[in-house]
């Protein structure tokens, strides 16, 4: 599917789901928020080739920043998104200046460490963050002064959808730009990019910072819609699941992130509902099938089927 058609398809599917599952808007909204997070992982890992298991650091930072901003400063949702983006980008920039000087397993371990440190800071700063009890008392103003957040979740659903589409379109433009092409070059061969004079280090720092800003938007969006922020925003499981979703859908293709989130969270939702104790078996089996038979993710399946179809036609002609 062409990238410029994806937002249109997402919008149409979202409209259909809204009317088909009017009582599952909380789950559908959570899917949309997760898509924003996984898109940030795709930029960092899929395009720039930066291995990470700590994207929750920026997600949690954005959530707390937006929540505190709404409580103590201003409850405007769009302003809160900006605050969350800036907070997530700031953490990514500060940590990225160190992380991007390392390689391989060291980068992964340091990204985990950053999230763990922020988790502990948020836990200890109870007077500010609420600690293990979470940050409560968030009250959001109507979106653009027109649409109030309702108990059913209709406003939150459409609000999240618009944010997803804006982020997707923005990343589509970014990844097709010279900067995005440079990231692909660094992903494939950083040594060759250095040989032609490309500023590899600073491009990686920039990509990591942008990815952190997008993760911060996801955290802020989640905080605004649920009106609660907890320490789970920094959890390792959040980063790990985001990575699994991206691998399922396919790295280096934004639409792969969307497909991976939709597949993982749908299977997780129904598997956990049917068997709350053994649902991880279904997720594990699904990941194994994709890794062994579709190493480039679900997004590669249509191309593989088309090649097999063409191969069969060529054999028949011969």
pLDDT digits (tens, 9 = 90+) for 246-264: 999 999 999 999 999 999 9
Q: Is residue 265 part of a domain?
A: no
170 token code pair: 């923005």
Q: How many C-beta neighbours within 10 Å does residue 134 have? A: 16
- What confidence score (pLDDT) does residue 152 get? 87
Q: Is residue 285 part of a domain?
A: no
In 42-76, which ranges are continuous DSSP H helix? 56-72
Q: Which residues pair with 147 in a beta bridge?
A: 143
What's the whole-model pTM score? 0.95
Q: How many domains does the chain have?
A: 1
pLDDT 10s digits, 138-160: 999 999 999 999 988 999 999 99
What are the angstrom distances between the C-alpha of 182 and each of 179, 188, 196, 198? 5, 10, 11, 8
Q: Is residue 10 part of a domain?
A: yes
Contacts 24+ apart (CB under 8 A), 145-149: 149/224, 149/225, 149/227
Q: Is residue 137 part of a domain?
A: yes
- What confidence score (pLDDT) does residue 1 get? 58
- What confidence score (pLDDT) does residue 22 get? 92
Q: Which residues pair with 72 in a beta bridge?
A: none
Q: Is residue 133 part of a domain?
A: yes
Kindly give the parts of the chain with pLDDT less than 70. 1-3, 312-318
Q: Is residue 37 part of a domain?
A: yes
Longest dimension (CA), the chain: 76
Q: Could you give the CA distance from residue 316 to residue 169 in angstroms, rounded to a whole number?
A: 43
116 token code pair: 């763990």
Q: Is residue 151 part of a domain?
A: yes
- What confidence score (pLDDT) does residue 151 get? 85
Q: Is residue 42 part of a domain?
A: yes
Q: Could you give the CA distance from residue 294 to residue 291 in angstroms, rounded to a whole number?
A: 6
Residue 137 belongs to domain spanning: 3-235
DSSP 233: G
- What confidence score (pLDDT) does residue 264 get? 95
């Amino acid at each position: 599917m062409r990238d410029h058609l994806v937002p249109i398809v997402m919008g149409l599917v979202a409209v259909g789901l809204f009317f088909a599952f009017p009582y599952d808007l909380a789950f559908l909204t959570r899917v949309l928020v997760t898509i924003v997070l996984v898109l940030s992982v795709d930029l960092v890992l899929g395009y720039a080739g930066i291995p990470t298991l700590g994207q929750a650091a920026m997600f949690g930072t954005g959530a707390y920043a937006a929540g505190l901003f709404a409580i103590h400063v201003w409850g405007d949702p769009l302003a809160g998104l900006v605050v969350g983006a800036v907070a997530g980008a700031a953490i990514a920039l500060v940590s990225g200046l160190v992380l991007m000087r390392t390689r391989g397993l060291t980068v992964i371990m340091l990204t985990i460490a950053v999230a763990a440190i922020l988790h502990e800071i948020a836990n200890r700063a109870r007077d500010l963050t609420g600690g293990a009890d979470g940050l409560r008392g968030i009250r959001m103003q109507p979106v653009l002064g027109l649409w109030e957040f309702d108990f059913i979740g209709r406003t939150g659903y459409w609000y999240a959808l618009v944010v997803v589409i804006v982020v997707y379109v923005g990343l589509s433009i970014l990844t097709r730009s010279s900067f995005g092409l440079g990231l692909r070059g660094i992903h494939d061969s950083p040594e060759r990019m250095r040989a032609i004079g490309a500023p590899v280090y600073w491009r990686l720092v920039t990509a990591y910072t942008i990815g952190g800003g997008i993760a911060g938007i996801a955290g802020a969006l989640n905080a605004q819609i649920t009106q609660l922020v907890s320490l789970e925003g920094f959890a390792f499981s959040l980063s790990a699941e985001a990575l699994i979703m991206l691998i399922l859908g396919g790295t280096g293709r934004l639409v792969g992130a969307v497909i991976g989130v939709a597949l993982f969270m749908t299977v997780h939702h129904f598997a956990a509902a049917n068997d709350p104790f053994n649902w991880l078996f279904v997720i594990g089996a699904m990941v194994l099938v994709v890794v062994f038979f579709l190493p480039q993710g679900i997004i590669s399946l249509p191309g593989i089927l088309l090649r097999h179809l063409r191969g069969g036609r060529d054999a028949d002609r011969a």
